[in-house]
């Protein structure tokens, strides 16, 4: 469920542009350049660079990483109950949670999120 709620929260931040401190840290690739590049034609997000390795475990890094992996159709349009169900289904099929470094379970447990 961590991955599911992370995706929903990223969508809320992008849509509402709030909270501002988080919105300014997470940006669309298309906002990086004023001219066309291969990266700025999609819906993926970019996170501003950080200096501390520990920050890579923060919400914005984990959430942006998992958000970038979901299909484009789940990133666009209004966030309806149907889209939420599709996101939950995608997470259950594509996200594993690593518990204690060796055991993996479906994506509804708290732990290190990885995709396959």
pLDDT band at 37 (very low <50, low <70, confident <90, very high): low
Measuring CA to CA, which residue among 53, 49, 52 is closest to residue 27?
49
Average pLDDT, the chain: 76
**pLDDT for 73-101, tens place per residue?**
999 889 999 999 999 999 999 988 766 65
Q: Among all chains, which residue has been given the structure tokens 């958000």? A: 67
The answer to whether 21 and 77 are in contact (CB under 8 A) is no
- Residue 79's SS3 state is coil
Q: Go through the chain and tell me how many residues it has.
A: 116
Nearest-5° Cα angle at 114, 17 to 81: 50
Model confidence at 51: pLDDT above 60: yes
- Is pLDDT larger for residue 24 or for residue 93? 93
Q: What is the pLDDT of residue 86?
A: 96
CA distance 87 to 7: 8
């Amino acid at each position: 469920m961590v991955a599911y709620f992370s995706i929903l929260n990223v969508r809320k931040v992008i849509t509402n542009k709030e909270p501002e401190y988080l919105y300014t840290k997470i940006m669309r690739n298309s906002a990086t350049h004023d001219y066309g590049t291969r990266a700025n034609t999609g819906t993926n997000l970019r996170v501003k660079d950080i200096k501390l390795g520990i920050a890579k475990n923060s919400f914005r890094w984990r959430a942006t990483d998992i958000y970038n992996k979901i299909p484009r159709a789940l990133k666009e349009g209004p966030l309806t109950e149907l889209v939420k169900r599709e996101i939950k289904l995608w997470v259950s099929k594509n996200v594993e949670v690593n518990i204690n470094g060796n055991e993996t379970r479906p994506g509804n447990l708290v732990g290190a999120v990885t995709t396959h």
